[in-house]
Amino acid sequence: MRVSDSRGSAPRPEGDGHPAPRDPARLVAWARAYLPGWARRHRWFLVAFGLGALLRLVTVLGYRPALWFPDSYTYVVTAMRPRPDLVRPAGYSLFLRLLEPFHSFALVVIVQHVLGLLVAVMIYVTILRRGGPRWAAVLACVPVLSDAYQIQLEHLLVSDTLFTFLLVGAVCLAMRRPPTPRSAAALGLLVAVATLTRTVGLPLVAVFALFLLAYGVRHASGAVRPGRAVARLTVPFLVAALLPVAGYAGWFYATYQRVGLVGSNGVFLYARTMSFADCSVMRPPPDLAVLCDPRPPASRPASQEYIWNPQAPLVKLPGITFTEETDALAGRFASLAIRSQPLDYLGGMLTELGRSFTPGRPVYPDAETYGYYEFPSTTPPSPGRHPAVVGKEFAGRYERGSITPRVVEPFAGMMRAYQDAAWLPGTALLVLLLIPPAAWVVRARVSSKRAASGWGVPWATAWTLLLVPAATAQFDYRYVLPAAPLAGLAAALSVKAADRRA
């Protein structure tokens, strides 16, 4: 691979200009001659990477075979009985299905830990290839390598680690070299798979399309019209991004006779608006009035309670919560609430977004959900909700053995102690997100010439990951973690550009 030195000089091949030979007989001699120098140049990253790998090994030894979240059981059901789910897309379930022949949830989380380590590798290599300083590249990797909550999330059977890997891979691919039709198509495919893993990826199709459009316009030559240059990149990207999504939507329609990727958008948006919705202001028609909560907003529970609590107005309606009629009713209520109280909706969204940047880690949305993100000291209880009980039966078939987590000391205790001290505060994430625009302002004052830094794509992607849940659902700590490596990547690249201008 090709990297730059810490001063942002011209790229040079690794191994001091001597690439690894293809002849196996000469490979050992090459390694002895050039790997020590390579290791010295990247020693600080290798130290951070080694620490991250060691922490993950301790986690695997301390919590066997894996840790469970309420969503985990639904993913396993979909993996064992492939069909679209009404609440979550099936991308992660298909990932579980690929590993099902091994009958080991321990293997699943080991693969997830490896994906977490590869995220750090992609970020480090991308920063160096873009001419970033080596120290900034190492620091950008520290959150994903060493944050205890990141490691714990990788040990949970949830979609976030796979989603983060796919999304960081897409960002790094977009920045690796001047885009070509082939790389644009590969980029679209990555974004599509990420979207089918978590639907928050869907708005990112527009983010990457705008990036390719801007690149095409900026680099159109005199012989090539801007429109043709743009189409050369955006068309393969959009085809590769939208065809898999459309195919999944067709599968969803064939299963439920409903249009979409999931059948819960209206329900989640309704729950989001219940933090401010005032029916005396909205004046809903009788069919919507049944969803009102007479309590003042300050006395209401967290938004998720309006989806899962049996006493919630929506849940008490006949049928399951995610029927087409119920979802449409909830969507109409949410739309009326937003139109009637737009400033309250904006204020609630900013409040949820602000939770991403708190200096501490307050318990939210409730103690039960918060507890799933902590390394436990005792074996977690068996699930009580009916869908999870059904999912546990399918999980037993997947594992062909016990799925009850075992807490093994002293390894588990080591990770609990580590989690008390090593995690990225929300204020640090905010600082990372503020560095790129601040560096841009400094650069503009130093010189009227604008040096391309490339931080815009990861920066916009990180903000999208934070804004969409705040606008459509509610804040959750695990929604913040995928944004951290992208924020570090953007900050490191903006520092590089600022250093060059200075």
Q: By CB neighbour count within 10 A (0-12 exposed, 13-18 middle, 19+ buried), where does 330 fall?
A: buried
3-state secondary structure 122-185: HHHHHHHHCCCCHHHHHHHHHHHHHCHHHHHHHCECCCHHHHHHHHHHHHHHHHHCCCCHHHHH
Q: What is the mean pLDDT of the chain?
A: 89
Q: Residues 29-50: what's their mean pLDDT?
A: 88
Closest listed residue to residue 185, CA positions, set 229, 232, 220: 232
pLDDT tens digits along 454-475:
899 999 999 999 999 999 988 9
> 3-state DSSP helix/strand/coil percent for the chain, to nearest 5?
65, 0, 30
Tell me the C-alpha distance between 274 and 276, whole Å.
5
Mean per-residue pLDDT for 423-447? 89
Same domain, 274 and 251: no
Domain identity same for 135 and 51:
yes
Phi (first) and psi of residue 374, to 5 degrees = -110, 140
Q: Is the omega angle on the peptide bond into residue 65 within 30 degrees of 0, that is, cis?
A: yes
pTM: 0.91
* pLDDT tens figures, 361-416: 999 988 989 999 999 999 988 776 767 888 889 999 999 999 999 999 999 999 99
Q: Is residue 395 domain-shared with residue 353, that is, in the same domain?
A: no
Residues 322 and 297 in one domain: yes
The number of domains in the chain is 3
What confidence tens digit (pLDDT) does each residue in 99-135 have? 999 999 999 999 999 999 999 999 999 999 998 899 9
Please tell me the predicted confidence (pLDDT) of residue 32: 78
| 247 and 281 share one domain | no
Q: Which amino acid is at 76?
A: V
Residue 190 lies in a domain: yes
Q: Place 220 in a pLDDT band, splitting at 50, 70 and 90.
A: low
Domain boundary among the residues 237, 256, 275 is at 256
Whether residue 284 sits in one domain with residue 187: no
Regarding whether 56 and 110 lie in a shared domain, the answer is: yes
The one-character DSSP state at 100 is G
Establish if 3 belongs to a structural domain: no
Q: What is the pLDDT of residue 450?
A: 52
Two tokens at 325?
């009629």
* Range in 57-61, 120-124, 131-135, 219-223 the model is least confident about: 219-223
The reported pLDDT for the residue numbered 242 is 96
Residues 15-31 pLDDT 10s: 445 666 666 767 777 77
Range of the domain at 412: 42-156+373-423
Q: Is residue 489 part of a domain?
A: no
